[in-house]
Amino acid sequence: MKKLAKLGNSYAIPIDKKTLQDALLDENAKFNIQVLPGGGLLIQSVEEIDRKEVENRYKKISKKYNNLLKRLADS
């Protein structure tokens, strides 16, 4: 159970190091926070997408399957 802590003009939910480690997260983790219609919050950790890696993989797949993709587009 956590209690909000005042942080400047905002509030924060302090998360101890042990909890982060148990969740396989670190201090650089990013979170998605949703306000639930019935009240309360849903907090989930999210992984950031490495755009450069996605682009590199897309280029490799496009190059490897270029002819197949063209045939599929033509049919």
The pLDDT value recorded for residue 49 is 77
The pLDDT value recorded for residue 54 is 86
The pTM score is 0.52
Of the candidates 2, 29, 22, 26, the one whose C-alpha atom is nearest the C-alpha of residue 14 is: 2
Report the distance separating Cα 34 and Cα 30, nearest Å.
Answer: 13
Upper half-sphere CA count for residue 3 (Cβ side, 13 Å): 2
Joined together, the tokens standing for residue 71 give: 């045939």
Q: Tens-of-pLDDT digits for all 75 residues of the chain?
A: 889 999 999 999 999 999 989 988 988 889 999 999 999 999 999 987 788 888 999 999 989 999 998 888 988
| CA R_g for the chain | 21
Q: What angle do CA 44, 9, 31 make, to 5 degrees?
A: 10
